[in-house]
Amino acid sequence: MSYTIGVPRETEKGEKLVALVPEVVSRLVKKGATVQVERGAGALAFIDDNAFSEAGATLVDRAAAFASDIVVKVRPPDDEEIGLMKSGAAFIGFLNPLDAPDRSAALAKRGVTALSMELVPRISRAQKMDALSALSSVAGYRAVLVAAEILPKFFPLLTTAAGTVRPANALVLGAGVAGLQAIATARRLGARTFAYDIRDVVKEEVQSLGATFVELELEVAGMQDEGGYAKALAEEKARRQTELLVPHIGKSDVVVTTALIPGRKAPVLITRQAVEAMKPGSVIIDLAAPNGGNCELTKPGETVVHNGVRIVGPLNMTADMPVHASELYSRTLLAMLTDFTGEEGFTVNFDDEVFAGSCVTHEGAVVNERVKSLLTPA
């Protein structure tokens, strides 16, 4: 018995990725799936419909893609898209469930079993399914390239007949996957690179990339949760942290911020005072902008200039690199589909740690306790 996997075209403003690329489609077809790709789904990722057809996909309209047994997407589905899914179907993709729990409630009401890529547990077996890490790496790389383009200085040390140009100072705040990629990229471009994170366990990783780990006179022991994410600081410690960061930020030509805490507003690490300590022409790239930003002056989706310092608040930096971002994301979906589909199609298995951790809705109910707690009682 064949089952269908639908790949709709992404319609959210600015999104250029496609959930599955032809290479992955081919592998799924060989496993017995019928992959239904909406016409034009890969256009913004430079993949034409012929490439999908040659990989074995069936080209369909939007309604047919959403009527599939399993729907895979990049961006969370909106109300109209949820309405196009059939009861009993499965959805796998980003859901942003901790910030938008009502969407999960709508999926449950529709009778859709939804797996959230944000909630995939950070365990060894699930590394191949870790879409957040895959796309964070893209964002960290791209952030430094954007900063280098905007900065009115060279990144590397240059010795010329006209004299020596000193290297730029780059500071990365947050040394998760995005931060580590930003550090590595800044180093490759020749900047003197520094990094700060409240998790002292990442110090060795930062130093292994050739960067200097910034240490503050602040007690931050045990600031990593079970999922590998940073915990939120108490109010007084958070205030002290921003004060201690001011001189380090002030010496930087480029600051890339990546600090996020799942389900919470992004912590403020760069105050107005810190921005005003920077030299005119300096650049801040705030990758936490979608969650409010790590800089007090960030405006999500905009570039703000304050005292000659440009503060960029990108909402979806991975969309600037849709070819490789689509490939990486598609492989994480392949891993999910491989583990949770069989000859009869989608397989529900709450005994599986990855399935149980990432499943948000099933049989008409929100089953994830964290998401359920965020919903307003009827």
Catalytic site includes residue 116: no
Cα gap 362→87, rounded to integer Å: 11
Which strands make up the sheet holding 254-257, listed edge to edge?
212-213, 192-196, 169-173, 254-257, 283-286, 309-312, 303-306
Catalytic site includes residue 351: no
17 φ, ψ to 5°?
Answer: -75, 160
- Radius of gyration of the CA atoms of the chain, in A: 22
| Candidates 122, 187, 188, 240; catalytic one | 122
Catalytic site includes residue 137: no
| Residue 369 CB burial class (10 angstroms; 0-12, 13-18, ≥19) | exposed
Cα gap 36→55, rounded to integer Å: 11
| Candidates 69, 130, 253, 286; catalytic one | 130
Q: Are 312 and 284 in contact (CB under 8 A)?
A: yes
| Candidates 99, 229, 320, 352; catalytic one | 229
The number of beta carbons lying within 10 Å of the beta carbon of residue 147 is 27
Both tokens of 38, joined, read 């909406």
Catalytic site includes residue 3: no
**Nearest CA to 313 among 299, 296, 328, 323?**
299
Both tokens of 102, joined, read 């009502």
Catalytic site includes residue 199: no
Residues forming the active site: 122, 127, 130, 133, 229
